[in-house]
Copies of this chain bind each other. A is one copy, B any other.
Amino acid sequence: MAMTLDDFKKTFPVRIELPVQWGEMDAFNHVNNVTYFRYFESARIAYFEACGLFGRKEASGIGPILASTECKYRRPVNYPDKLWVGARIGELQRFGFVQHYGIFSQNQQALTTEGHGRIVLLDYNTNAKVEPDAELLARIAELEGQ
């Protein structure tokens, strides 16, 4: 059963809207595979803003780094279109978390792309991994509706 936009919005507590730009297509006339990682990154940053992680590195020396990321291409996307790019946290880990990403196309009214990123929290003063503090965990729980 296909995912609706309503389902999508319920699944991803943090979402951004992006117009597909013509120049994001490659010689195959589809949005290039690399571009989706820019979209994911923008949703990831939006989530960091929502949970208080964005800019924290400057304030406290503790910041998120991306350890790995993956994208599954379900359906090609073309210009013109409008995309919703969503992020949610799928799994809390000792020193960070796994974020899941999804992209929903206005034209196709379907989920076109899925992915994830593993984020680690680092203390840039000591270069050591650090555990999420209570405030961060509370903000994430609130966002995820737990």
Contact = CB atoms under 8 A, between A and B. Distances in A.
A34 B36 CA distance: 9
Interface in A74-127: 79-80
B33 A41 contact: yes
Contact of A69 (B23, B26, B71): B71
Interface in A28-57: 29, 32-34, 37-38, 41-42, 45, 49
Of residues A22, A29, A72, A80, which shows the largest number of chain B Cβ atoms within 10 Å of its Cβ? A22
Interface of A: 16-19, 21-23, 25-27, 29, 32-34, 37-38, 41-42, 45, 49, 65-73, 79-80
Contact of A22 (B29, B45, B66): B45
15 contacts: A18-B21, A22-B27, A22-B41, A22-B42, A23-B38, A23-B41, A25-B27, A26-B27, A27-B29, A33-B37, A33-B66, A66-B73, A67-B73, A68-B73, A70-B70
B22 A23 contact: no
- Top-5 shortest CB links A-B: A70-B70, A68-B72, A34-B37, A25-B27, A22-B45
